[in-house]
Chain A
Amino acid sequence: AQSVSQHNHHVILSEAASLELGCNYSYGGTVNLFWYVQYPGQHLQLLLKYFSGDPLVKGIKGFEAEFIKSKFSFNLRKPSVQWSDTAEYFCAVNTPNQAGTALIFGKGTTLSVSS
């Protein structure tokens, strides 16, 4: 069965620090990869997604992620975080060409940014 691992449960950073959140998935075939964010009191929102092509994808609010197929990884990065980036971040995966397209999520990483 597919699974997604997020290595960091809680990350605490100061404003302007760089961010990298790890995500690994277990599936040998073609996958679609997503990062979702949940700001306090809000619903899950899509940050960015990868389906094919350039493995470096850019999302909203200055976030980017790199798909490294050989490492089964899809790490999220941001060069300089802001206080408003405080949120919970979820990595998710699904597979094309299957009847069910539901997302498989990691457990999430809570990011706390201090000003």
Chain B
Amino acid sequence: EAGVAQSPRYKIIEKRQSVAFWCNPISGHATLYWYQQILGQGPKLLIQFQNNGVVDDSQLPKDRFSAERLKGVDSTLKIQPAKLEDSAVYLCASSPNWDSNQPQHFGDGTRLSIL
């Protein structure tokens, strides 16, 4: 099966600019996650979707970050305006449903550098 697709792989922007990331989960996977991985740390959840509804966005900095999954398939994550501390790898993951014992399948991530 095809894996989780993310684009772009790399992005360099200046602070205060905006940026968007795209994710296409594995076909048929209802649950989609966005994680932020800062250098030297493990991934940290930003937002979880079940189909096109938000399950958990408690750790999403809503003053600058937004995400949507309008048709319950692919998703976009946006940062506006970007800050230096947003430099990180943004990972998308999907699972068949929201059973907690379902393993999550990760994409290659988007590496964001803020100048």
Chain A residues at the B interface, C-beta cutoff of 8 Å: 4, 32, 34, 36, 42-46, 49, 51, 90, 92, 94-108
Determine whether the beta carbon of B106 is less than 8 Å from that of A94.
no
Interface residues in B, total, Cβ within 8 A: 29
Binary contact track B32-47/A, C-beta < 8 Å → 1, others 0: 0101000011111100
Q: Contact check, A105 vs B42: say whether CB atoms are below 8 A apart.
A: yes
29 residue pairs of the A-B complex, CB under 8 angstroms, read A4-B42, A32-B100, A32-B101, A34-B103, A42-B108, A43-B4, A44-B43, A46-B103, A49-B103, A90-B42, A90-B43, A92-B42, A94-B100, A95-B100, A96-B100, A96-B101, A97-B100, A100-B58, A101-B31, A101-B95, A101-B102, A102-B45, A102-B48, A103-B43, A105-B42, A105-B43, A107-B40, A107-B42, A108-B41
